Amino acid sequence: MSANETSLREQIAYFGRSIFERGLTAGSSGNISVRLDDGWLMTPTNCCLGNLDPVEISRLDQQGNLLSGQPPSKEFFLHEAFLNRRPHDRVIVHLHSTYSTAVACLPDVDPMDVLPPLTPYSVMRFGKVALTPYRRPGDKRLGDDIAKVAADYRAVLLSNHGPIVAAKTLEAAVYAIEELEETAKLFILLQGLRPRLLTQDQVDELNQVFVAKEADDGKSCC
């Protein structure tokens, strides 16, 4: 095993525990994957993100066949569908976190732009959010739904299910899904009120100053 793969396994366990301990996932829900040059690392099925053993993380080949470790999460096909359309990203984090899932249950949202631009950080970390139709867990059409929007969105809500985010690094993916959860929380808190949203000019400025710059130099915005 390469030093890079060993480090990635340790990072998956570290971020999994961090997510779990702050209540962003419960029980055995939630999963994390990293695409390697010759396959995938994926959190195992029925595992708790708070108690991951780096050695037991599923190691898959490029076709998704298990090479070592525990069997992968049954939601691996979602990760594959997302990253196959995002060649520059390498990491997927998927949770069933409370506020993002609450938004994913609301009837009157625009499925191509679910969350309004409430804060600069939502624009910087994940941008516009898509909503896919409800499917039962394991329904392979979920992968098709994600594939349809994957090229244009870094963050997607699965109806009545939860959020899924793609990014270049584990840190960026975890920060993005945390920011998504905080933005969803604000959105729920502001239901029935009339919050002042960022204007299109303000969103454009953020994209110009932070998002384009990050793509250029690979660094985080804050």
Distance, CA of 126 to CA of 180 (rounded, Å): 7
Task: Examine the residue annotation and report whether 175 is marked as an active-site residue of this protein.
Answer: no
The span from the CA of 42 to the CA of 59, in Å, is 7
Whether residue 153 lies in the annotated active site? no
Helix intervals (H) in 37-195:
76-84, 98-103, 120-125, 141-150, 170-189
* β-sheet bridge partners, residue 165: 93, 155
Contact call for residues 5 and 36 (beta carbons, < 8 A): yes
Contact 102, 188 (CB under 8 A): yes
> Which H or E run contains 16?
helix 3-21
Q: Which of 5, 75, 80, 179 is catalytic?
A: 75
Q: Which of 80, 99, 121, 181 is catalytic?
A: 121
Q: For residue 64, report the phi and psi dihedrals to the nearest 5 degrees.
A: 90, 10
Of 160, 148, 47, 155, the C-alpha closest to 102 is: 160
Q: Would you name the residues annotated as active-site residues?
A: 75, 121
